Amino acid sequence: LGRTDMVDLFLGTFSLEDLVATIQGCNEDKSLHEVVFNALSDVLVQRLKSETVNEAIKTKICQDFPKLIDLGSVQVLYNTLETLTILLAQPATLKEETFDAFREVINRCYREILIYRKSDHFMKLMARFVRALVAPVREGDTEENQNNAWLKEVVNEYCGMFLDQAVTIGGLAILLFEKLLQLPVAALLDWNPFARFLLVGLLLGEGQKREQRIEDEFCAAKALTTPLFTPPTQLQSDARVRVMCVLFLYRLASTNHPDATLFLLKLERMLIERFQQISKAKERYYADSQTHRHKLRIVQALCVLLKLTGTHPYPLLEVVLYETNQPNINYLIELILADSSIDTLTIINSLRADKVKVSGVQSVFVVLWLRCCKTNYLDVEYINFLLPWTMAQNFSTRLYAQITIAKLIEKFYDKPEAGPFGNIHAAINSYLKQGNVEKNLEKCMKDFRFNRVFDYANLLTLENVFHNIPRVSGMAAEDVVGTRVLGECFASLKLERVNLGEAIEFGELAVEKRESLFLSSGFGGADHIQKKIVPLKAVEPGRELLGDLPEKLRLRKAKEDGLIVVASLVDRAPNLGGLARSSEIFGVRQYVVGSLKDVESKEFQALSMTAEKWLNVAELKSFQLADYLREMKAKGYAIVGAEQTTGSRPIQQIRFPARAVLVLGHEKEGLPAHIISQLDIVAEIPQFGVVRSLNVHVTGAIFMWEYARQHLVMEGS
């Protein structure tokens, strides 16, 4: 191959058809034929790479390669794609008379690649195919240029096809976007479908199904590597695509192209319209659902986009005021509003409108806090604005307003008690130490938004948007993008690191402080009702109170051991009421529900028969459940799950520990995968009929009786 003259002599004197006929006439092993044609393809591609190659030799190579695909092995396909990349990257290759020929070769290569879909060669071949596909697109291409036509016809067709297939073929989207986002900005802006493809990239990825998550968590816990296991790197391949699409916006904004700003504004409008469409289609949705993920990804993209365009985010202000969304979506919108140029007075006055959600009121308080921290200035009018809200009808709103005032005074006055708001600060602190409020106080005080963890000069860092907020709100691992992945995405696009920020370590909260109304406001709304304090639930019973209780109840309250029943995943009030009645009858130490407002409903009380008045009832949101179970384990409790799994045992074979937490699943879905992985004991009730499972109320009652039979009945006798 070092003697190009000899190679040219060989290429000029032989005929591929004659060579094929000669080899096929021999009775040699077919694998030997493939070796010959593989070697010939190596010679052709190496000759094409040399600087001195005349048009006649180039034409002959172009004619012979498609024929070699039928004769050689996968090596010929690799070389064909390499040849296409070399030829299409040359300015004068694509002409009107050769356009269709190259298009046919590209199509032929793709059909051949599909043959290897289930082999290890597939992704390597696809990487080379994408490189060849975009090779003709260069700086300076004009509307009349054949290279520009190649982008709008051939590349456009395959991009649409690959993005449809990316749902089922992991890693395909990242191969496409790594090359696509490095194309010349001018060519991309002139390509009309690019905005639509970029929008798909920003929202790409579906959550794991329940069964797959169970398999992965089991394999990870047992350190098993099986075909069932999906490694974290594969789970985050879609997240890398989303991050790269966001980083491309920085590249676009840094160019001097006259259409760049218009494109960013167009994309901003498309994202907001998509968010509004999703909200209209599904007003309420579950955490980690596809609706939740799409909304979160839209807001993540807007965090970067709105900062680049400088647009006033009024549509997002309306979202946070009038819609009910998952907490992490509200967290990000709060950062956007705090960082925006919308006047603070405008944000404050927005609360005068009708039908503002409770969560919206509280978000405005947070924005006010962030604004003051960002500017390092406290306007006394802000305190005057917050004061009326400290007497609001809704408990959670009152608490938010009080905490915000206390935090602002403590931040801007070295000695709060001696400052101009000393009396207000003292009054609020005095109130916050009373009864049921104190249980919520520390949780609110430790909320990450009120504790100086942010760089207030730059709230919308990539770490905050893609790592810190998703992590603190309990998103799945594939949606929490770490510093290393962010850095790798910058490197993939050959961009300098900008606006990266720092990962934040968030402290864990004590289990006792999880009985809070604070985070429940994310799904509040104007229909929230105030929770009246029931003395036996409001405080931990002291010695004097225990002395006044009935004997059985006094002994039960004084014990440290006992069964805690967690029904945070149960959402039907009659089932919750029935469980409360069973919990009281069988001496449960604590009964945990998803929302304390359920206890006030008529459906609940119709079955509870006032049992809640004698129970220690606590609130725990479903998204807090995993953290709660981990902390209870650390305190020595065994976690028991009522679920039918491959490893569950009949309840009569189970010995309940004295300190146990019973977790009950959703009426239809049962226990989620990430909760099952934390169970120490999984028990099921033997069944002898046709129906698949018992009602959750009945299941819970049977488990409570079994615990009582093993511990309380023996003690009583």
* C-alpha distances out from residue 415 to 294, 433, 575, Å: 46, 20, 51
Overall average pLDDT of the 131-142 stretch: 78
Of 364, 368, 372, nearest to 392 by C-alpha is: 364
Whether 308 and 253 have beta carbons less than 8 Å apart is answered as: yes
Q: Is residue 655 scored above 90 in pLDDT? A: yes
Per-residue model confidence (pLDDT) at position 516:
36
* Confidence category of residue 298, pLDDT binned at 50, 70, 90: very high
Question: Using CB atoms within 10 A of its CB, is residue 119 exposed (0-12), middle (13-18) or buried (19+)?
Answer: exposed
Say which DSSP state 498 is in: -
Give the rounded distance of the alpha carbon of 71 from its chain centre. 47
Note the pLDDT of residue 529: 34
Do the beta carbons of residue 296 and residue 333 sit within 8 Å?
A: no
Q: What is the pLDDT of residue 417?
A: 82
Cα 578 from chain centroid (whole Å): 35
H or E segment to which residue 487 belongs? helix 483-492
Residue 510 has what pLDDT?
A: 37
pTM score of the predicted model: 0.68
Q: Of the ranges 207-216, 256-265, 602-611, which one carries the lowest mean pLDDT score? A: 207-216
Mean pLDDT lowest for which of 127-141, 225-239, 541-555? 541-555
| Structure tokens belonging to residue 173 | 């989207």
Confidence at residue 521, expressed as pLDDT on a 0 to 100 scale: 39
Q: Give the pLDDT score at 36.
A: 60
Cα–Cα distance between 591 and 575 in angstroms, integer?
A: 13
CA–CA distance from 210 to each of 222, 481, 621 (Å)?
Answer: 18, 21, 20
- Cα separation, 198 vs 194, in Å, equals 6
Q: What percent of the chain has pLDDT over 90?
A: 42
* Average pLDDT estimate for 240-250: 95
pLDDT at residue 535 greater than cutoff 90: no
Confidence of residue 366 (pLDDT cuts 50, 70, 90): very high
Quick one: average pLDDT of 361-390? 93
Calpha distance 268→290 (Å, rounded): 21
Tokens found for residue 18: 């004659």
**Residue 43's pLDDT is what?**
63
Q: In what order do the strands lie in the sheet with 638-642?
A: 617-619, 590-593, 562-567, 659-663, 638-642, 681-684, 649-650
30: pLDDT confidence band, cut at 50, 70 and 90? low
**Cβ(405)–Cβ(386) below 8 Å:** yes
Higher per-residue pLDDT: 151 or 31: 151
Q: Length of the chain, please?
A: 717
The Cα–Cα gap between 239 and 470 comes to 12
Q: Using the predicted structure, report yes or no on whether residue 4 has a pLDDT greater than 70.
A: no
DSSP category for residue 507: P
* pLDDT attached to residue 56: 58
d(C-alpha 178, C-alpha 192), whole Å: 19
pLDDT score, position 27: 52
Count CB neighbours of 315 within 10 A.
Answer: 16
Look at 65 and 158; give whichever has higher pLDDT.
158
Q: Residue 663 forms beta bridges with which residues? A: 566, 641
With a CB cutoff of 8 Å and minimum separation 6, the contacts of 85 are 128, 131, 132, 135
Please report, for residues 64, 302, 471, the alpha-carbon distance to residue 445 in angstroms, rounded to integers and kept in the order given: 74, 29, 19
User: Coil, helix or strand for 514?
Assistant: helix
Burial level of 262, CB count in 10 A (0-12/13-18/19+)? Answer: exposed
Beta strands in 536-623 (DSSP E): 562-567, 590-593, 617-619
Average of pLDDT values for 93-111?
Answer: 84
Provide the Cα torsion 142, 143, 149, 152; round to 10°. Answer: 110
Q: How many angstroms separate the Cα of 535 from the Cα of each of 436, 551, 713?
A: 9, 18, 28
**Confidence label for 273 from pLDDT (cuts 50, 70 and 90):** very high
Single-letter code of the amino acid located at 255: T
What is the C-alpha separation between 611 and 510, in angstroms, rounded? Answer: 27
pLDDT digits (tens, 9 = 90+) for 70-98: 656 788 788 788 888 888 887 777 778 77
Q: Are 577 and 605 in contact (CB under 8 A)?
A: yes
pLDDT of residue 522: 38
Average pLDDT of 670-692?
89
Amino acid at 251: R
Contact 356/394 with Cβ under 8 angstroms?
no
* pLDDT, position 70: 66
Sole residue written with tokens 């520990």: 657
Backbone phi, psi, residue 662, to 5° = -95, 120
pLDDT value of residue 533 = 35
Supply the mean pLDDT for the chain. 81
Unique residue bearing structure tokens 């190496």: 46
Give the C-alpha separation, 553 to 545, whole Å.
11
Helix axes 30-49, 74-88, angle to 10 degrees: 20
Distance CA 588, CA 586 (A): 6
Tell whether the model's pLDDT for residue 54 goes beyond 70. no
> What are the tens digits of pLDDT across the range 550-595?
555 545 555 668 999 999 999 899 999 999 999 999 999 999 999 8
Contacts of 192 (CB under 8 A, 6+ apart): none
Of 596 and 31, more confident = 596
The pLDDT assigned to 305 comes to 96
Kindly write down the DSSP assignment for every residue of 256-286, as one continuous string.
--TTHHHHHHHHHHHHHHHHHHHHHH-SS--
The model's pLDDT over 485-527, given as tens digits with 9 standing for 90+, comes to 899 999 988 888 888 888 877 654 333 333 333 333 333 333 3
Lowest mean pLDDT among 275-279, 379-383, 418-422: 418-422
pLDDT of residue 63: 62
Please report the pLDDT score of residue 430 as a whole number: 78
Return the pLDDT at 34. 61
Q: What is the DSSP string of 574-594?
A: HHHHHHHHHHHHTT-SEEEES
pLDDT at 229 over 80: no
User: Looking at residues 92-110, what average pLDDT do you find?
Assistant: 83
**What is the pLDDT confidence band of residue 15, given thresholds at 50, 70 and 90?**
low
* 560 backbone dihedrals φ, ψ, rounded to 5°: -90, -30
Question: Does the pLDDT at position 197 exceed 60?
Answer: yes
Q: Write b or e for each residue in 323-346: b if 16 or more Cβ atoms lie within 10 A of its Cβ, otherwise e.
A: bbbbbbbbbbbbbbbbbbebebee
Nearest to 3 by CA among 50, 40, 57: 50
Mean pLDDT of 366-378: 93
Query: Are 591 and 616 within 8 A, CB to CB?
Result: yes
Give the separation between CA 98 and CA 90, rounded to whole angstroms. 13
Return the CATH number of 541-716, one of 3.20.20.330, 3.30.2230.10, 3.40.50.300, 3.40.1280.10: 3.40.1280.10
Q: Give the strand pairing for 649-650 and 638-642.
A: unpaired
**Mean pLDDT highest for which of 71-80, 100-109, 137-146, 356-365?**
356-365
Lookup: tokens for 688: 């002898």
Torsions phi, psi for 388 (to 5 deg):
-60, -30
- Alpha-carbon distance of 43 to 33, in angstroms, equals 16
